[in-house]
Amino acid sequence: MNLPTTRPQVKPAEREVPRVVVVGGGVAGLILATRLGHLLGHRGLARVSLIDRSWIHVWKPMLHTFAAGTWNLYEQQVQYVAHARTHHFEYIPGQLDAIDRAARRIRLAPSQMAGETIAGARELGYDVLILAFGSRANDFSTPGVVEHCHFIDSPDQADAFNAQMRAHVVRSFEQGGNIDIAIVGGGATGVELAAELCRMVELAAGYGEADIRRRLRLTLLESAPHILNAFPELSASAASQLRAFGTPGRFGFFKGAFIKGRFAQLSHALLYRGHQVSLHGPSRAALLWLAERINALVQPNIRIS
């Protein structure tokens, strides 16, 4: 007599599960890894891995505020290691070096920290591979840009620009010279950076000499006939009102310093809060907002050191 055979029950943690690898921890990559961690990783249905060469994530549209020093980079960053543990995926520091599609494997370049190699070249297998590299600034072959300009594509680059800019501000306090800054590109990011730099100097005046407001000399270099050329409803009014230290909004620049530019800042803040909710959930996002408000009461309005 043939007895019916049964397969032994295998727990999800013990059986081989598909491996999903996300390369790039920007807005799209981190949100995707977070959601896959909750949907698949938490239930043992897949092993979700996120690869990024940086140890931290920041919302890229905020980089110009970190560069200007009007927002604190260290208060807004997400630590990949901690976030991965909370949201049921693994974080692997590294930079993609090669892809072998036939073998379903990727190779990571050696990782370094403070000039020291902390991990050699490695290979990882995958069942599903998602490339979320993001974008980088285009210099459009403008002569001199690569040799002389700061790029603001990463937290490290924003921090480097801020350090040099703060040195110029301190020198202006001590020696009375002008603060000359040229921005290549009169699109949304270039104009927003100009507005945030104006705001920074306005706030910095409260910590020393009020005359520093007149020492900031900004130059926007744009090949198009107008700044904000992609936004014709803003372009006509923006050029004439930028010197008022306004912030670009739905109806152009607002006169009367940066305080009346809150309309655009509010829309920017709402987008950022939505990003925080996507990453952390409503409760934790609300706690992060509350912590920022409390910190703003006891910390300087701009980055000083």
Q: Is the pLDDT of residue 245 over 60?
A: no
Q: Is residue 81 pLDDT above 90, yes or no?
A: yes
Mean pLDDT computed over 79-92: 96
Query: Which stretches does DSSP call E strand in the chain?
Result: 19-23, 47-52, 56-57, 78-79, 90-93, 95-100, 105-109, 111-113, 116-119, 122-125, 128-131, 179-184, 216-221
Q: What is the CB-side half-sphere exposure of residue 33 using CA atoms within 13 A?
A: 34
Higher pLDDT, residue 214 or 230: 214
- Using the predicted structure, report yes or no on whether residue 15 has a pLDDT greater than 50: yes
Model confidence at 170: pLDDT above 70: yes
Query: Largest Cα–Cα distance of the chain, in whole Å?
Result: 101
Q: Quick one: average pLDDT of 216-226?
A: 83
Q: Which domains does the chain have, with CATH numbers?
A: 19-58+77-131 (3.50.50.60), 145-259 (3.50.50)
Residue 112 pLDDT class (50, 70, 90 cuts): confident
Burial of 4 from C-beta contacts in 10 A (0-12 / 13-18 / 19+): exposed
Q: Is 185 exposed, middle or buried (0-12, 13-18, 19+ CB in 10 A)?
A: buried
Please compute the mean of the pLDDT values over residues 102-114 and round it to a whole number.
Answer: 91
- Confidence at 240, pLDDT banded by 50, 70, 90: low
pLDDT per residue over 113-161, tens digit each? 777 888 889 999 999 999 999 888 888 888 899 999 999 999 999 999 9
In the prediction, which pLDDT does 100 show? 97
Give the tokens for residue 5.
């055979």
Statement: residue 85 has pLDDT above 50: yes
Whole-number Å distance between alpha carbons of 248 and 40: 42
- Predicted pLDDT at 238: 57
**pLDDT score at 216:** 87
Q: What is the pTM of this model?
A: 0.78
